[in-house]
Amino acid sequence: MAVPASTSPVLYDAHPRAGSLILVAFGSIFLGLISWDLAGEILPFSVFSPFVAFIFAGGAFVSLTLIHGGLQTNAFRWEFHDDRIEIDLRTLIGGDCHRTILFGGVRAVELVEHEWESTGYTWSVAVTLGDGVKTGTPQIATKAEAEDVLARIGRFKAA
């Protein structure tokens, strides 16, 4: 989760790589198991083949969803300096992205409230950059910390 903005100029949200690899492994194993188990029931074609194919499609969908979820995990890092904001995005596949925001590089900022059943409320700051790209901070635990981050980003807003 995020480090409180009042004590540190860094916000981060990182998902463990081991969790991503576990999702990919389980998805691959499940896909292999259903292929091994159900392929013999679909061919040769019989009256039950469409039903087995439907079950296979459902299992393949779940397996591919696990694999996709494991491959699409991100790690965000927002670092605040007096003259710039640096945003780093690290992905499991697809490479890393680094962005630097200077004064006048922010078009709009907005405080966003997230309601969760398990943990209550969290907040984040939605940012529209000068070139129209929309991004946002990782979720922040308290509203006061989120307002502090909003003020820090607001300093870079175009006049």
pLDDT in tens, 10-49: 887 777 778 888 999 999 999 999 999 988 887 788 888 8
Largest separation between any pair of C-alpha atoms in the chain: 71
Give the predicted TM-score (pTM) of the model: 0.64
Domain chopping of the chain, boundaries: 17-71, 104-159
Share of the chain above pLDDT 90, in %: 45
Determine the Cα–Cα distance for residues 84 and 86; give it in Å rounded to an integer: 7
Task: Say what the pLDDT of residue 145 is.
Answer: 92
Task: Give 131: exposed, middle or buried? Use CB within 10 Å, 0-12, 13-18, 19+.
Answer: exposed
Determine the Cα–Cα distance for residues 113 and 144; give it in Å rounded to an integer: 12
Q: Which residue has the higher pLDDT, 74 or 5?
A: 74
